[in-house]
Amino acid sequence: MTEHLINLKVNDSAVTIRVPAHRTLLELLRDVLGLTGTKEGCGNGECGACTVFLDGTPVRACLILAVEADGCEVQTIEGLSQGGLRPIQQAYAETGAVQCGFCTPGFVIAAEALLRKDPNPNDDAISAAFSGHICRCTGYTSLFEGVRLAAKKMRVGERE
Amino acid sequence: MKSNYIGTSAPRIDAVEKVTGEARFVADLHLPGMVHAKLVRSPHAHARIVSIDTNAARAMPGVLAVVTGADMPWWIGECVVDQRALAVDKVRYPWEGVAAVIAETEEQAILAADKIKVEYELLPAVIDVRDALKADAPLIHPDMASYHFVPNFFPEHGTNVFHHYTILEGDAKAALASADVVLEQEYEFPLLMHAQLETHGCVARQTNDGRFELYASCQSPFMIRTVLAEAFHLPRHMITVRAGYIGGGFGGKSDATIEPLTCALARFVPGRWVRFVLSREENLAASVIGRGLRGRFRVGANRDGKLVGAQIDLDLAAGAYGWTAINIVPCAGNTATGPYHFPTLEIHTRGVYTNTAPVGAYRGYGHPDSQFMMERHMDLLARALDMDPVELRLKNIYRHGEKNSLGQRIDRSFGDLEGCINAVAKELGMGTGPRPAGDPPPDARKVRGVGLACLMKAPGMATNAYESCLLKFNEDGTVHVISSFTDMGQGTHTGVRQIAADIMELPLERVYIPRVIDTDFSPYDWQTVASRSTWMQGRAIAHAWKRAKREMIETCAAVLGVEEAEIEYENGVFFVKDQPERALELEQVCHGYVHPDGHVDGGPVVVSGYFVPYQTYADPTTGQGNIASSWTFGCQGAEIEVDLRTGELTPLRIVTALDVGRVINPTLANIQVVGGVVFALGGVLSETTIHSAAGAVRNPTLTDYKVPTPEDCRDIDFPTYLLETPVPGDPVGTRCIAEHPSVAVAPALVNALSDAAGVEFYDLPLSAERVLEALTRKGGSRA
């Protein structure tokens, strides 16, 4: 099995590690670095539970090889939560968008990525950001509502 | 009881853990020395195992043990003990486990499992329940006569029927013979997969002194302990089951699924933690699946719409092992009437072995399956009688004091079904007269329609299905309310905290609900199923609080030097009747009262409480008896649009009205309803379990098993009416709600489709392809 030495930043910490070529970013995060906030729901890119930021872009960590993250910056749900809850995290809690919680980290990253680009997203934009994410509990209405509420919180926050 | 918190949208106590990814699930556990298990699974639905060659696998790097069914003599089951940890001699469903590898790493286990060679001799497989019931059908369990069944189950030996439940009331045959109208129709509710986002997982070890310890993604830790104790002939205290957060259950984690196998495997590597987490494909194809009911309904009515009787035959395609399905049989049977009074009834419900994955609980537990059929039947009957479908329902719902199919007298305190029906009818503009089948005008491209359906559900439980709790008071007057229900998303911990605070008249902040269950420390709980936890836990807490208060009053009386009868309690303060100045705060006595000289009265208060409703076994001949408690009634309706060119059905509004007794937390209750509706909607529009003729599962991925997506749901409106008819004699007064929003979605949509486009479905799903086919057959397609 070929191994590669890779250097990356995970949640602002430098990581240098040897990984087999077939190791996924998800396996690296969960099994090696112990960052289990990122969930595996399918391992095939079908559910969105493992979404993380790779150089600021939301990606499915199960579809990225660890070697592809060489030289990149990765931010996981743990990194996003450093320094307190983001508005989207507060908003999901308030609108009832959190039930079993397994899909939640993925939906947090998806919405955070959207809100960084578009501070006032309409439902088409939210729907596009949620594309490829599955929640089996909520029926999604409270997740849409959560993004709208977070956008509102952020606008109010800016004015203050 | 005062309610400071019940009825408010108190924040979810697990929200912060979940939005930050801190919440731990079983697959997140990395325990010292942990090893990994992988299975070799059968590609065939029904086959004799001729040989298993494990030699090459044993020689692979990292392999610690290779195990086959023959190495594991243990039998598994709860009501009928019919399963082994891995298949022995033959496989009965596709993806059934045949051999297992335990290795140091997951990768090593996968590579070694690939080296195992299994030779099979194919046996004829039966997937359709009608084939399984044929006189010459292959027997899936030829040894059924030797299986252990708990009382009140009626297998038919020499067939594939493991339970035949009968309801007899009056002479239905004679009533139908003299009825003005008799309508007969067959229906089918197909098989569905749960597709919880978190797949099943278990990490187990056998300690060197022979105990089992396990972490499980399970709804019912004490039931798992029972099954393990019986399988391995161990006393309960030799087994510790730990359960925490669960990434969705929906019934699919309510039975022991992979836990007995994981423990069995742990015996081959004593002292080591064995991790067994299902892949997505295994979760869909190889774990418990749901529904799968066929029915033939014959219902008679008089010209005025009054029902006179029903003859109903239901057959549950229960998969390869009956023990996860056996109690669905009576639940489907006794609720097949819907909430309607039938003076005469003859209902036969059979649980039948078939060659699919075991069928088990699936949000609604038999109720949505059989009520789908009855609620379709009511619409068809209304047409036959040229009556308004709302009027026909209102004419026949249980009136005060009328008996249901179990012989229970339904009274007004069971809830306001009429109010629910009226709310839904009003929302959809129904109830204005007969509704003939839709007949789209020739130039129409899209047509709309409405439909509704009633629902009822009670927990299907054992008679001794206890719910219990511990109140453990702390030094500062805060209290741990310790229970053993699991919260797989439904919000029970949050709701129960509100109930506990109100019962004890304490601020919410002083009540803490631990979210981790450990059968060594947590009080007994039968199972987290049947929508029972919030309802029953409130009663258990009330019972425990009564005992706790008594203990603290004893201490107060000693400290204040008065009789116990003179002490009263309000809002965290004990005081002498009519002398409120002679008072002690709860925190002064809940951990013993320390006098100025240092001596104490009382001590740390730790009390238990329990609740179990009055239930009995069903009569073996008539099926009647108090086998259901706490009915919740309701009605659901839908407005839909059908594209006549594509067959695509778009729900515009799905209305739900339930009489829940009392809303504990409005935000959580509403989310529960929307989530339940969408969960059921998947089974109506897009989810199908596809088996090949030989029984192979064709679509065990989330790409091919199509659960609802955000885009599917964003434009649907979900009007929700939660009625609150009080429950007499219940300090909290809430009814069960968790599964109920899934019960009548299917018939409401199928009825709406008929109303819109005049195509009649007696089964599911209403996929665009099938709807277009039906439109084309009818000549109504504009494609």
- Tell me the nearest-neighbour CA distance from A100 into chain B, angstroms: 4
pLDDT in tens, B364-398: 999 999 999 999 999 999 999 999 999 999 999 99
Element (H, E) at A56: none
Measured CA to CA, the distance from residue B454 to residue B451 in angstroms comes to 11
A68 burial level (CB within 10 Å; 0-12, 13-18, 19+): middle
CB B782 within 8 A of CB B644: yes
pLDDT of residue A45: 97
The whole-number average pLDDT for the span B97-124 is 98
pLDDT at B578 over 70: yes
Measured CA to CA, the distance from residue B86 to residue B98 in angstroms comes to 5
pLDDT of residue A160: 61
CA B742 to chain centre: 10
Q: Partners of A54 in the beta sheet?
A: A57, A74
pLDDT of residue B1: 78
Judged by CB atoms within 8 Å, which residues 699-718 of B form the interface with A? 701-703, 707-711, 713-714, 718
Average per-residue pLDDT in chain B? 97
CA distances, B308 to each of A83, B15, B181, B402, B705 (Å):
68, 51, 10, 14, 42
pLDDT of residue B412: 81
Measured CA to CA, the distance from residue B605 to residue B593 in angstroms comes to 11
Nearest to B710 among A49, A81, A130 (CB): A130
Q: Where are the alpha helices (DSSP H) in B189-249?
A: 221-232
CB B397 within 8 A of CB B340: yes
pLDDT in tens, A6-55: 999 999 999 999 999 999 999 999 999 999 999 999 999 999 999 999 99
CB contact under 8 A, A98 and B15: yes
pLDDT in tens, B144-168: 999 999 988 999 999 999 999 999 9
CB B374 within 8 A of CB B297: yes
DSSP notation for B53-88? E-HHHHTSTTEEEEEEGGG---EEESSEEEEESS--
The whole-number average pLDDT for the span B341-356 is 98
pLDDT of residue B779: 87
Instruction: Read off the pLDDT band of B65 (50, 70, 90).
Output: very high
Dihedral sign computed on CA atoms, order A70, A74, A76, A82? positive
pLDDT at B539 over 70: yes
Instruction: Read off the pLDDT band of B607 (50, 70, 90).
Output: very high
- Tell me the nearest-neighbour CA distance from A31 into chain B, angstroms: 8
Span of B43-47, B169-173, B240-244, B727-731 with lowest mean pLDDT: B727-731
pLDDT of residue B413: 83
pLDDT at B36 over 80: yes
Which chain A residues are Cβ-neighbours of B363 within 8 angstroms?
A: none
pLDDT in tens, B503-513: 999 999 999 99
> What tokens does A93 get?
């809690």
pLDDT in tens, B252-278: 999 999 999 999 999 999 999 999 999
pLDDT in tens, B210-233: 999 999 999 999 999 999 999 999
pLDDT at B580 over 80: yes
In this structure, the number of other CB atoms found within 10 A of the CB of residue B507 comes to: 14
Q: Rounded to the nearest 10 degrees, how much is the dihedral formed by the CA atoms of B771, B772, B774, B777? A: 180
Nearest CA in chain B to A52: B21
CB B239 within 8 A of CB B520: no
In chain B, the percentage of residues whose pLDDT exceeds 90 is 96
pLDDT of residue B411: 86
pLDDT of residue B2: 81
Q: What SS3 class is residue B512?
A: strand
Which chain B residues are Cβ-neighbours of A133 within 8 angstroms?
A: 710
Measured CA to CA, the distance from residue B450 to residue B448 in angstroms comes to 7
Of B18, B217, B739, which to mutate for an interface test with A (greatest number of A Cβ within 10 Å)? B18
Average per-residue pLDDT in chain A? 97
The model carries a pTM of 0.97
Instruction: Read off the pLDDT band of B781 (50, 70, 90).
Output: confident
Of B9, B14, B17, B19, which to mutate for an interface test with A (greatest number of A Cβ within 10 Å)? B19
Q: What SS3 class is residue B614?
A: coil
DSSP notation for B434-469? --PPP---TT-SEEEEEEEEEEEE--B--TT--EEE
- Write b or e for each residue in B552-563: b if 16 or more Cβ atoms lie within 10 A of its Cβ, otherwise e: bbebbbebbeee
Nearest CA in chain A to B13: A93
In chain B, the percentage of residues whose pLDDT exceeds 70 is 100
The whole-number average pLDDT for the span B439-459 is 96
The whole-number average pLDDT for the span B708-723 is 98
For residue A83, the one-letter residue type is: G
Judged by CB atoms within 8 Å, which residues 81-140 of A form the interface with B? 81, 85, 89-90, 92-96, 98-105, 108, 123, 126-127, 130-131, 133-140
HEC string of B571-613? CCEEEECCEEEEEEEHHHHCEEEECCCCCEEEEECEEEEEECC
Instruction: Read off the pLDDT band of A133 (50, 70, 90).
Output: very high
Instruction: Read off the pLDDT band of B721 (50, 70, 90).
Output: very high
Which chain B residues are Cβ-neighbours of A36 within 8 angstroms?
A: 21, 24, 27-28
Which chain A residues are Cβ-neighbours of B674 within 8 angstroms?
A: 138-139, 141-142
B708 burial level (CB within 10 Å; 0-12, 13-18, 19+): buried
The whole-number average pLDDT for the span A94-117 is 98
